[in-house]
Structure 1
Amino acid sequence: MIKWIIFDAMGVIFIVGDDTNDLLVPFIQGHNKRILKKTINEVYLRASLGQITSRQFWQEVGLGAQYPQIETVYLDTQLILDDGFTSVARMMSKQYSLALLSNDVSEWSAYLRNRFAMDFLDVFVISGDIHCRKPDLNIYKRFLKEAGTQAGECVFIDDRCKNLAVAKSMGFKTIYFVRQPKKSDFVPDASITSFNELENAIENICQQIIERVIFY
């Protein structure tokens, strides 16, 4: 029986999947033309693992003098919420527990959850809080511990097959959110291209579980 619906953030809740290279790098280089893309990625990785704070992140990319305003501008202007997410999530929260499982800077995730009033989330596991990132097995284990549930009771939605593959190997049901089709040998339990398709996808997964139980 499915009890939990777990959302990834970037590429699912927010429409851009590779926010680091597509949004953060050009934003920072627009303010600091001398910094390299590689440097930004390296500093961001450390921040998303909780090794440095968001303040330290902006300092290390040469924009510390503009903190915290620069951070607010970035989060308010660059990250676009999928129009369909909130209404669908609120509807699904009447039937399921909802969670967020995301690779992100702790402070950024907290700001965005507050800004977009994601009070319907029952559990959120953020890489910056627990010092490991998807697809590390430990981040999925941490979710199961915090939610007090089992993998077979969960549907995990992500836009990256490598993240879904680890979840599926643990027993999670998986939904591939297709923003930009990518070649992969991974076969999810369902695929969607918009939140309008999510309810049907979950119903189909639940039906598959019932049929499997009856068959065996």
Structure 2
Amino acid sequence: MIKNLIFDFGDVFVNLDKPATMREMSKHQIPALSENLLQVNQQYEKGLISSEAFIKSYQTEYPKLQEHQFKNSWNAILIDFPEYRYRFLKKLSEEKNYRLILLSNTNEIHIDWIKENVAFFEDFKACFDAFYLSHEINFRKPDTEIYEFVLQEHNLEAGECLFIDDTKENTEAAKSLGLHTWNIDPEKEDIIDLFTARKELF
């Protein structure tokens, strides 16, 4: 029996354009990311370096890159947050049938953009029993430690959890620990259809 719903954020609630960041960076003569910058991205997502140090890492490799150019490119992945998805979650929260947890790989620059551009963000956040962002807890998916952290923090049984994420690698890692999963396809599926898409679990 599912008692706990664990949600990803991007392409579950917030619409993303994942190739957009590199499309924008290519306009500033950054055709691809070095292995060093890929590692820096992961460190930043885990909150192991500051936003200032993160931006500086890019400027070290690309000295002509201006901070505003980088931030605009970095945030290009974020499209919008349809309010109907927030309404769906709010209803779930009010019904109190499930513990609601958000578990997202994200970073300070992206969350700052969300706070500035999504009027209902704080109300959305308040719907959850726990709200975990990778850069705040120093773990990131698909590392198993992040799922173990959530299970231990709330004394959850893995078999009573449904984890929803758009990235197969992340849902496979959760599944390996015994969680039920829904690898949502954002091009064909929507979180508001949760109870029909995985009706066998409810």
Q: Among 183, 190, 198, which residue is 1:176 paired with?
A: 183
Runs of 4+ more than 6 Å apart: none
**1:40-79 maps to which residues of 2 (within 5 A)?**
40-62=37-59, 66=67, 71=71, 75=75, 78-79=77-78
Q: Specify whether residues 113 and 123 from structure 1 end up closer, same or farther in structure 2 by C-alpha distance, changes over 3 A only.
A: farther
**1:79 aligned partner, one-letter code:** L
* Secondary structure, counterpart of 1:38 in structure 2: coil
**1:94-173 maps to which residues of 2 (within 5 A)?**
94=95, 95-106=97-108, 108-109=110-111, 112=114, 115=118, 116-117=121-122, 118=124, 119-173=126-180
Deviation at 1:60, TM superposition (A): 2.0
Distance, in Å, in 2 between the alignment partners of 1:6 and 1:113 is 21
Deviation at 1:79, TM superposition (A): 1.0
Q: Specify whether residues 146 and 23 from structure 1 end up closer, same or farther in structure 2 by C-alpha distance, changes over 3 A only.
A: farther
Q: Structure 2: where are the runs of 5+ without partners?
A: none
Q: Specify whether residues 203 and 101 from structure 1 end up closer, same or farther in structure 2 by C-alpha distance, changes over 3 A only.
A: same
Q: Specify whether residues 121 and 73 from structure 1 end up closer, same or farther in structure 2 by C-alpha distance, changes over 3 A only.
A: farther
Q: Specify whether residues 29 and 107 from structure 1 end up closer, same or farther in structure 2 by C-alpha distance, changes over 3 A only.
A: same
Structure 1 residue 198 corresponds to structure 2 residue 189 = no
Deviation at 1:92, TM superposition (A): 1.5
Aligned to 1:37: 32
Q: Structure 1: where are the runs of 5+ without partners?
A: 181-191, 207-216
Aligned 8 A contact 2:46 2:134 in 1: yes
Higher relative contact order (CA 8 A, sep 6+): 2
Deviation at 1:129, TM superposition (A): 2.6
Using the TM superposition, name which of 127-136 and 105-114 deviates more: 105-114
Aligned to 1:213: none
Using the TM superposition, name which of 108-117 and 37-46 deviates more: 108-117
The normalised TM-score by structure 1 is 0.72
Aligned to 2:12: 12
Any idea what the Cα deviations from partners look like across 1:163-216, whole Å, max 9, x if unmatched? Answer: 111212212111121135xxxxxxxxxxx711231132354312xxxxxxxxxx
Aligned to 1:89: 89
* Secondary structure, counterpart of 1:80 in structure 2: strand
Aligned 8 A contact 2:46 2:139 in 1: yes
Q: Specify whether residues 66 and 161 from structure 1 end up closer, same or farther in structure 2 by C-alpha distance, changes over 3 A only.
A: closer
Q: Percent sequence identity over matched residues?
A: 28
RMSD of aligned residue pairs (Cα, Å) = 2.9
| Corresponding pairs, count | 188
**1:38 aligned partner, one-letter code:** L
The normalised TM-score by structure 2 is 0.76
